[in-house]
Amino acid sequence: MRADRLLQIILLLQRHARLSARELAERLEVSTRTVMRDMEALSAAGVPVYTERGRNGGCVLLPGYRADVSGLTPREAQALFAWSGRAALSEELGLRDALQSAMGKLSSSLPLELQGDAEALSGAIVVDRRRWFAEVEDTGALPVLRQAVVTRRRVRVLYASASAGRPQRRTVDPWGLVEQAGRWYLVAAHRGVARMYRVSRVQEVDVLEEHADRPPDLDLRAEWDRLRSGLEQNLPVGVDVVVRVRPEVVEQVRRIATPMLAKGEQARDVPSDDDWPHLAMHFRVREAACGVLLGFATDVEVLEPPDIRRRMLELATAAVRIYG
């Protein structure tokens, strides 16, 4: 819609002060002729914009002018207020008060016809990112890391990795933060090599005066996808199992096993030749399959594969030696 494009032009010029018609056209995906017509329309509507010719010319907005948000559509207003439902995320980043203040200012400047639905949606959405039965992540270092990312400062952290025997100090260049299924990760370079660091394992963090070395063309999402892909490829091999389950606990087995299954997988019913239902499941990690299924004792029997049956017997025998 043209109204949306006109508002985008104002916001772009507020941010950049001066842009060429070609730059505006590329950002808005329109022709330079369309940009010039839009500039004329804005000027006719009383918006203090003008164009300058010459090598250093371009489209200009007079300093100090600020556009209101009356150009927001109902869907745009609802999208902004829906984000405020993720208060826990903003609180972890140390920005909850800032978000509430910003949303208050936004609400007061919205047309009356948009305020009701937007605020109603905000109060009707709760985002709970915690995993079932999982401990709450310690994100105390997150606000400091956020500030270091924004100011592009190098940081020294005391980090307790899963593989190291004790916490170690590392000086890293922070590139960005990623929230993945309720867990926060810092993407940073250590000695020039990009790595991911789980924020809950950062025990101490000091922001240094040194400027962080951050690639100018960094695509944080692409870098995260690369790091995550490398981690997933190095995970232990998964396994397909078939089990027979006491009828009374079938739903309980489904519910407890699902978080340990491969992404998008669920327990599937397979033909049974007795009174107990049979389920087929693909676990991400072999040992996790044994641990989960052993917890059901005699309510679950592994039928396939044979090596998992043998491993279950080994673990059960070892447990008997300890507790017998």
For residue 172, what are the domain limits?
Answer: 142-233
Q: Which CATH number fits the domain that encloses residue 297?
A: 3.30.70
pLDDT for 248 beyond 60: yes
Label residue 51 by pLDDT band (50, 70, 90).
Answer: confident
| pLDDT of 133 | 62
Q: Beta partners for 61?
A: 49
Same domain (yes/no): 222, 245: no
- What rounded mean pLDDT belongs to the chain? 84
Same domain (yes/no): 220, 248: no
Same domain (yes/no): 14, 29: yes
Instruction: State which of 233, 251, 279 marks the end of a domain.
Output: 233
pLDDT in tens, 68-101: 655 667 777 777 776 666 666 777 888 777 777 6
Alpha carbon separation from 253 to 28, 51, 250, 277, 310 (Å, rounded): 52, 68, 5, 11, 21
> How far is 200 from 324, CA to CA, in rounded Å?
38
Looking at residues 210-227, what average pLDDT do you find?
91
- DSSP per residue, 140-180: TTHHHHHHHHHHTEEEEEEE--SSSSS-EEEEEEEEEEEEE
In a domain, 128, yes or no: no
> How far is 114 from 109, CA to CA, in rounded Å?
10
Highest mean pLDDT among 122-126, 140-144, 229-233: 140-144
Q: Which CATH number fits the domain that encloses residue 50?
A: 1.10.10.10
The pTM (predicted TM-score) of the whole model is 0.58
pLDDT for 138 beyond 80: yes
In a domain, 68, yes or no: no
Q: Say which DSSP state 208 is in.
A: E
pLDDT for 6 beyond 70: yes
Alpha carbon separation from 27 to 9, 20, 57, 69, 86 (Å, rounded): 9, 11, 18, 20, 30
Q: Which of 107-121, 144-158, 163-177, 203-217 has the lowest mean pLDDT?
A: 107-121
Cβ partners under 8 Å of residue 137, min gap 6: 182, 183, 184, 199, 200
Query: Which residue has better confidence, 78 or 270?
Result: 270
